[in-house]
Amino acid sequence: MVKYVFITGGVLSSVGKGVTTASVALLFQSMGYSVTIIKIDPYINVDAGTMNPYAHGEVFVTEDGGETDLDIGHYERFLNKNLSKKNNITTGQIYYSVIMKERKGEFLGATVQIIPHITNEIKSRIKEVVEEDKVDIVFIEIGGTVGDIEGLPFLEAARQMRLEEGFSNTAFIHVALVPSLRVTGEQKTKPVQHSVQELRRIGIQPDIIVARCEKPLTPEARAKIALFSNIPPEAVISNYDVNNIYEVPLILYEQGIHLILADRLKLPVHNPKIDHWIDFVERLNRSSQPLKIAMIGKYTRLRDSYISIVEAIKHSSAYLGVKPIFKWIESTDIEDGKIKIDDELNGIQGALILPGFGKRGSEGKVIALKYLREHNIPTLGICFGFELIVIEVARNIVGLKEANSSELDSDTQHPVIDLLPSQQGVNIMGGTMRLGSRPIKLIKGTVVYSAYGVEYVMERHRHRYGVNNKYLDLLEAAGLITSGINVEDSVVEYMELKQHRFYVGTQAHPEFKSRPLQPSPIYTYFLKCALNSS
């Protein structure tokens, strides 16, 4: 029998439910069970692709081209496993498919209702993932907070699954905030009590409470939560603040969350094999040599906008034994003249030009790129960052002063970056970019080839524009050479500047494939060059 574990949230959102879910799943995977994780997002968007990063943070991209919630990125990194776009279910998808079925007449004259039609669709989507992935345990994180109107159909579907699948095949973990008063340090359990009551009101009794708190729970707070939630005190777990998210599985393990959950699900307990994870966490915490990296983008006020890039840098840093010091630079502030680039980049050892869309902030990135190129500072441009590398070189080395991307100026005389041929005539915005994993052929003798050490690599993508191949000869003559290309659709995937320590741009997003113990080769190589240049 497949086991279904639902994770709900209480009190506040953004308390690390995704990391908690990934951590518990990792412990069961380390016990030898095959696991997967589904994220449910109760919003009406079909996927995260059309959302501004300031709304929910980064849009994560799966191998199969899904534009998903950033929690899918945490799951992939913790489980070291590729997930599918099907692992992110939204209200939009559920209603879209129920309405399509209704239009086709599949409900045979019935009145189509939230219960049972919407809840049935939710259950069948969860089961579809389980069947395709053939797992022993599926963890289902229900986004938002208990009490949200839009989350109700999902909680109702979960409640029904407990009845249908059986008590020992379903479990509920409730993750909720336990704030503490600044003056006395006292941990307040009332908000958790209320959110558990709210869960019970809709027929769900949690089996485990994970309390997000600053410090480990006091015995009094634990006892109180247990009493009011109707569970034993050992089923109340503290998820207190740690140095980095990768320590969370370890603190949950120490408190025996895997034992309680395994017992609840009637699963044999094996000792989790987490030595490799402990090694990684120790390396991460031990790495002390500082490396100053500039992060230049236009969504820098919400760090979650670039979370996979930050995590990729951490993975590579742990591998190299360095401690990255991030300096966030808002590109709109550069173009508005609010900050001076030479002051900002003083003492920087490497720079990342972050991905993005649209005109705002783009000229700020071009100004930064000119400085980085002229000062021989190792630079990595990701997707939009790569496109701006091409524009800067075209303007300032090739001499095409008007060079631009047709995304930023549709009338530009020199569209060195242009809409991809495959994107001509596309006018639906959702899910239509060049998405997902694609093969890249690397050119021998280039820096990028040395970084990967192989001729073919697969990286993930999310873009509509790319290098206009009519300008390739001019760019190459100026020293910006092609180091990777897709042989099927001729999209230039990697370019690099000769005579520079490390000046590389890629149309791909290698950060999406970086894992704690398998860092992205290009990020590692970039950091290595940054380290050697100073």
Exactly one of 65, 66, 272, 356 binds ligand GLN (CB under 6 A); that residue is 356
Q: Closest distance between ligand GLN and the C-beta of residue 465, in Å?
A: 3
Q: Closest distance between ligand GLN and the C-beta of residue 312, in Å?
A: 15
Are 403 and 363 contacting, i.e. CB atoms less than 8 angstroms apart? no
414 is catalytic: no
Q: Which residue has the tokens 């120790």?
A: 282
Q: Closest distance between ligand GLN and the C-beta of residue 214, in Å?
A: 36
The sign of the CA dihedral 224, 230, 232, 237 is negative
Set 56, 117, 330, 383: catalytic member: 383
Q: Which is nearer to ligand GLN, 98 or 504 (CB)?
A: 504
Torsion of CA 262, 267, 272, 277, to 10 degrees: -70
CB within 8 Å of 343: residues ≥ 6 apart: none
* Number of neighbouring beta carbons within 10 Å of residue 279: 13
Q: Closest distance between ligand GLN and the C-beta of residue 497, in Å?
A: 19
Q: Which is nearer to ligand GLN, 281 or 383 (CB)?
A: 383
335 is catalytic: no
Q: Which is nearer to ligand GLN, 357 or 452 (CB)?
A: 357
509 is catalytic: yes
Q: Closest distance between ligand GLN and the C-beta of residue 117, in Å?
A: 37
Regarding 48 and contact with ligand GLN (CB under 6 A), the answer is no
Residues 261-320 that bind ligand GLN (CB under 6 A): none
Q: Which is nearer to ligand GLN, 294 or 383 (CB)?
A: 383
Are 283 and 21 contacting, i.e. CB atoms less than 8 angstroms apart? no
Alpha helices by DSSP H, listed for 321-461, are: 331-335, 341-344, 362-374, 384-393, 447-452
Regarding 407 and contact with ligand GLN (CB under 6 A), the answer is yes
Are 440 and 484 contacting, i.e. CB atoms less than 8 angstroms apart? yes
Q: Which is nearer to ligand GLN, 407 or 496 (CB)?
A: 407
Regarding 357 and contact with ligand GLN (CB under 6 A), the answer is yes
Q: Closest distance between ligand GLN and the C-beta of residue 296, in Å?
A: 13
Residue 460 Cα distances to 78, 448, 472, 478, 487, angstroms: 18, 16, 23, 28, 15
Q: Which is nearer to ligand GLN, 19 or 352 (CB)?
A: 352
Q: Closest distance between ligand GLN and the C-beta of residue 71, in Å?
A: 19
Set 174, 258, 511, 529: catalytic member: 511
Selected range binding ligand GLN among 132-140, 302-310, 349-357, 442-450, rule: CB under 6 A: 349-357
Selected range binding ligand GLN among 93-101, 207-215, 227-235, 351-359, rule: CB under 6 A: 351-359
Q: Closest distance between ligand GLN and the C-beta of residue 463, in Å?
A: 3
Could you give the CA distance from residue 529 to residue 68 in angstroms, rounded to a whole number? Answer: 32
Pairing of β 456-463 and β 434-442: antiparallel
Amino acid in position 183? V
Exactly one of 79, 307, 383, 442 binds ligand GLN (CB under 6 A); that residue is 383
Could you give the CA distance from residue 477 to residue 460 in angstroms, rounded to a whole number? Answer: 29
Could you give the CA distance from residue 349 to residue 530 in angstroms, rounded to a whole number? Answer: 5
Choose among 49, 36, 41, 170: nearest CA to 432.
Answer: 49
Could you give the CA distance from residue 176 to residue 14 in angstroms, rounded to a whole number? Answer: 10
Q: What are the tokens at 158?
A: 């979960």
Residues 442-471 that bind ligand GLN (CB under 6 A): 462-465
Q: Which is nearer to ligand GLN, 322 or 383 (CB)?
A: 383
Exactly one of 355, 364, 378, 436 binds ligand GLN (CB under 6 A); that residue is 355
Are 23 and 78 contacting, i.e. CB atoms less than 8 angstroms apart? yes
Could you give the CA distance from residue 433 to residue 385 in angstroms, rounded to a whole number? Answer: 17
Selected range binding ligand GLN among 68-76, 187-195, 240-248, 353-361, rule: CB under 6 A: 353-361
Contact mark string toward ligand GLN, 386..405, x via CB under 6 A: -x------------------
Q: Which is nearer to ligand GLN, 391 or 451 (CB)?
A: 391
Set 121, 500, 509, 529: catalytic member: 509
Amino acid in position 227? L
- Which H or E run contains 380? strand 379-382
Regarding 384 and contact with ligand GLN (CB under 6 A), the answer is yes
Residue 455 Cα distances to 189, 342, 444, 452, 511, angstroms: 56, 38, 7, 8, 19
- Residues designated as active site: 383, 509, 511
Return residues touching ligand GLN (CB under 6 A). 355-357, 383-384, 387, 407, 462-465
